[in-house]
Structure 1
Amino acid sequence: MFHFIFDTLIHHRINHNTHRVVRFFETQSIANTSNFTEKQAVTISYLTKSCGLSLESAISASKKLKIKSTEKPDSVLELLRSHGFTENHISRLISCWPGLILADPERTVRPKIDYFASLGLVGPDLPRVLCSCNVLNSSLENQIKPTCDFLKQYLRTNENLIYAIKRCSRVVLYKVEKIMVPNIYTLRAHGVPESLIGRLIMLQVGTLLLRVDVFKEAADAVKEMGFDPKTVS
């Protein structure tokens, strides 16, 4: 049944595609521009040379942060590289969340990397997943661990948990207990057994992150079509 729920819900997703052509920043030289303060110039230079950001991204980021010393940023980059983050990973990560470069590498960044590694997220999957959402800027104790603990109630094993996270990494950023519980209640009300609810979470956890009214409407529609809630198809 849940495969049909997913097929129905997928049509509610919105595809965001934006395209911009920025010629000015591609042709400007930092050294020849008088519009930047000295601190901005240092920040822009570091972001482009050490983090691989485009000039446009570096200029944008420099409006939100100032790199006064490279000691902490250098340590963050060293930590990321030691865990398999490539230059492309780092460029993407810092472009999307520039504040990460000023995070405390030992107190803020390493504990999150170690936590996911302890769950079994290792090798190339580790940087790939951690670069796909803002997880390294999220609270380990208040967000990441509670989310994983909640999911594991249904998924049982770390292996299943990591499988679900790899399929939908953004799940770790949600208050899943608040969002998913009403949708899980909807499935139970339609007679879906716990084993299939767990399988849905593992295979298509993003489906259960949809709005309660949208999810309920789709579940009701699937039931009216006559599908057996105790089957997977």
Structure 2
Amino acid sequence: MKNPENSDSIISFLKENGFSKSQLERVVKTNPHLFSASLEKTIKPKIKIFQDLGFSANDIVEIISNAPTFLHRSADNRVTPSLSVLKSLFGSSLEVAKVLKRSGWFLMNHLEKTMVPNIEIFKSLGVGMEQIIKHIYNFPRFLLYIPNDMKKIVKKVDEMGTCRSSKMFIHVVRVVSSMKDENWELKLKHFSNLGFLEDDIFKMFKKAPLMFSVSQRKLKNVKEFLLATGKYDISCIVSHPMPFLCSLEKKIKPRMQVLGILEIRNLIGKWPSLSTITCNVK
């Protein structure tokens, strides 16, 4: 801190606006340069923007604590436009605050040049806004790709044969976007080593893209357990890959044990499909 008086003024101001000791420590650790910034020109104007838009004091504190670096961004060229985009999507300051508390990346990017064009890309592909909004909330950085890069990812997914009208389309795009080429090839190798043909791997991936985030050990254990029952073969797993996303010990094994008991008592003639076994019971 080059100017102790300036640093003290900033700390006092933040305390007055509801920052706790632990939150101040987090800000110092994350962005020590903040305390050499201008209180009047850099910090106060950004906080006022949030106040004017109706954000609560607690939400403002939490947003800044989680991502204080955005305070160095231009109020007119970055912060205000980004908040405007988010509010147009989520409708209220309360909902925008929920998103920003999950990720401050939205205030660090030109949303008009990244997220807005990417939303239009997915809308043009038939993806509904409800799905898009869920992805913005659950996977904040997904729609912040350069639009041309997003188009390349979509093209790659198209080449895999994924149907654009499928509800899984945006999920497939997201998973592909999150993986480097070498990681993608490694996952393909893992499934190949488990006895799956390339076409079958792509069929499963399009139905359950998150299976590519599952460890090789779990994939192997689930596959071997299902085959060991004698009730399911590789083709059953290809048609219904969701077991790879379920807990083997907490979900699959207990349900299989129940089916075994029902079969012994002649209460069932045929075991249900894997999709039925892995569905959530309400």
TM-score range normalised by the length of the shorter chain: 0.5 to 0.7
8 Å Cα contact 2:205/2:212 also seen in 1: yes
Query: Which structure 1 segments of 5+ residues have no match?
Result: 1-27
Shift of 1:229: 0.4
Classify 1:140/1:46 alpha carbon distance in 2 versus 1 (closer, same or farther; 3 Å): same
RMSD of equivalent CA atoms: 3.7
Q: Which residue of 2 aligns with 1:85?
A: 90
Separation of aligned partners in 2, 1:194 and 1:86: 44
Letter of the aligned partner of 1:30 in structure 2?
N
Q: Which residue of 1 aligns with 2:235?
A: 230
Query: Which structure 2 segments of 5+ residues have no match?
Result: 1-14, 25-34, 240-273, 275-282
Q: Which has the higher contact order (CA 8 A, sep 6+)?
A: 1
Separation of aligned partners in 2, 1:130 and 1:51: 22
Shift of 1:51: 7.6
Letter of the aligned partner of 1:135 in structure 2?
F
Separation of aligned partners in 1, 2:208 and 2:98: 25
Classify 1:62/1:203 alpha carbon distance in 2 versus 1 (closer, same or farther; 3 Å): closer
8 Å Cα contact 1:138/1:173 also seen in 2: no
Classify 1:50/1:218 alpha carbon distance in 2 versus 1 (closer, same or farther; 3 Å): same
Shift of 1:228: 0.6
Q: Which of 197, 204, 208 is the equivalent residue of 1:204?
A: 208
8 Å Cα contact 2:78/2:109 also seen in 1: yes
8 Å Cα contact 1:155/1:201 also seen in 2: no
Structure 2 counterpart SS, 1:64: helix
Q: Deviations over 1:198-217 (max 9, x none)?
A: 44323321112223344344
Separation of aligned partners in 1, 2:115 and 2:181: 25
Structure 2 counterpart SS, 1:156: coil
Q: Which residue of 2 aligns with 1:30?
A: 17
Q: Which of 123, 130, 137 is the equivalent residue of 2:144?
A: 137
Q: Aligned residues: percent identity?
A: 14
Note if 1:44 corresponds to 2:47.
Answer: yes
Shift of 1:43: 2.2
Q: Which residue of 2 aligns with 1:149?
A: 155
Classify 1:68/1:75 alpha carbon distance in 2 versus 1 (closer, same or farther; 3 Å): closer
Shift of 1:121: 2.0
Alignment of 1:71-150 (within 5 A): 71-82=77-88, 84-87=89-92, 88-133=94-139, 134-142=141-149, 144-150=150-156
Note if 1:163 corresponds to 2:168.
Answer: yes
Structure 2 counterpart SS, 1:131: helix
Q: Deviations over 1:146-203 (max 9, x none)?
A: 443333333432122x52435x785255116443444444444555466654443233
8 Å Cα contact 1:52/1:91 also seen in 2: yes
Shift of 1:74: 2.8
Letter of the aligned partner of 2:98 in structure 1?
R
Q: Which residue of 1 aligns with 2:32?
A: none
8 Å Cα contact 1:30/1:41 also seen in 2: no
Letter of the aligned partner of 1:86 in structure 2?
G
Q: Deviations over 1:24-82 (max 9, x none)?
A: xxxx642999x983322332332454384713313315631225433543333333444
Separation of aligned partners in 2, 1:130 and 1:189: 35
TM-score of the aligned structures, taking structure 1 as reference length: 0.65
8 Å Cα contact 2:67/2:103 also seen in 1: no
Q: Deviations over 1:82-136 (max 9, x none)?
A: 4x33224422332233242243243233222222222222333222222221213
Classify 1:208/1:32 alpha carbon distance in 2 versus 1 (closer, same or farther; 3 Å): closer
How many equivalent pairs are there?
Answer: 201
8 Å Cα contact 2:19/2:61 also seen in 1: no
